[in-house]
Amino acid sequence: MPKIKIPPVLRASVGGEREVDAPGENVRDVLHGLVSAHPATETQLFGGDGELNRYVNVYLNDEDVRVLDGLDTAVGASDVLVILPAMAGG
């Protein structure tokens, strides 16, 4: 099952986990799997139009899904999705 790496700002919404497993064959399904299990993540990941929020970067392994097929990008069982918000701390 694909893994999702959870950034610090979202960990409170997933019970403090740093990494969760979520089923799915594309990015959309995997992220929706995350949202089903942890509804508090929905508004942080998705806008009202069902698209990823612009301020959330999602990588399939090390590649931005926006340069792949976006939410339709195929995900294999051994892949890792990295959710990456910007941080500004200095």
Interface positions with other proteins (CB under 8 A): 7-9, 18, 44, 53-57, 59, 62-64, 67, 82, 84-90
Q: What is the dihedral of CA 81, 83, 89, 90, to 10 degrees?
A: 30
3-state secondary structure of 21: strand
For other proteins, give the closer residue by CB, 70 or 85.
85
Tokens of 21: 């497993």
For other proteins, give the closer residue by CB, 36 or 53.
53
Least distance in angstroms from the C-beta of 1 to other proteins? 20
DSSP H or E segment with residue 5: strand 3-5
For other proteins, give the closer residue by CB, 15 or 18.
18
